[in-house]
Chains A and B, each alone.
Chain A
Amino acid sequence: AQTVTQSQPEMSVQEAETVTLSCTYDTSESDYYLFWYKQPPSRQMILVIRQEAYKQQNATENRFSVNFQKAAKSFSLKISDSQLGDAAMYFCAYRRNNNDMRFGAGTRLTVKP
């Protein structure tokens, strides 16, 4: 079974600084997708960034980037120039071919002004 592990239940960052959220996963598949989702308090879950396993290049979306290490099964999220609106629960997720998506336990990010 595929598992996704987020070892940081809570993280804190100063506004305008950079923070990295960790994620590791376990799989025997070679083709899959990895995602970071953001869920603000009492608000909708939205996709932050995704990475195709067959791509060596790390995905980037504006202030968000990932460090994808396929051999190590590691998928960390870096948030640069943190903003107050980045405060949320962040979930790392793994999806394989059958659309079965599994989430990690989440990391609650606090942004300090």
Chain B
Amino acid sequence: DTEVTQTPKHLVMGMTNKKSLKCEQHMGHRAMYWYKQKAKKPPELMFVYSYEKLSINESVPSRFSPECPNSSLLNLHLHALQPEDSALYLCASSQGWGLAGDNEQFFGPGTRLTVL
């Protein structure tokens, strides 16, 4: 299994809602990532988890709250979002940490989020 899966595919939420995005991989990867991608722009790194611990937080607003319950699962909890947070949210995973050749990042298909 060389897949990263993300649910839901699409999400529409109001600014007062609380929702969660889910990402799963069963490749035994120990690093997982959240990216935000606006239309016609490159992905921007939000968070990195390594061995289930938060390693990088790119100064993301607290209305985005990541969680890594286990090595296969990564969640992104959303609360009080703004319309400008509408974007494609990509999850990725890699085998490990550091500058190794097998640390290629595998991307999921993304969740397209619309905040009304």
Chain A residues within CB distance 8 Å of chain B: 31-33, 35, 37, 43-47, 50, 52, 91, 95-106
Contacts and interface: CB of A to CB of B under 8 A. Distances in A.
Given A31-B99, A105-B41, A106-B42, A99 B31 contact: yes
A69 B107 CA distance: 27
Nearest to B4: A44
Nearest to B96: A99
Given A44-B108, A104-B42, A99 B101 contact: no
Contacts of B45: 100-102
21 contacts: A35-B104, A43-B109, A44-B108, A45-B43, A45-B107, A47-B106, A50-B101, A95-B99, A96-B99, A99-B31, A99-B33, A99-B50, A99-B55, A99-B56, A99-B98, A100-B45, A101-B105, A103-B43, A104-B42, A105-B41, A106-B40
Interface residues on B, range: 20 to 34
A45 to B, nearest CB: 4
Interface of B: 31, 33, 40-45, 48, 50, 55-56, 90, 94, 97-99, 101, 103-110
A91 B42 CA distance: 7
Given A47-B104, A103-B42, A103-B43, A98 B109 contact: no
B99 A33 contact: yes
A31 B101 CA distance: 12
Given A96-B99, A99-B97, A99-B98, A46 B42 contact: no
Given A100-B45, A104-B42, A50 B104 contact: yes
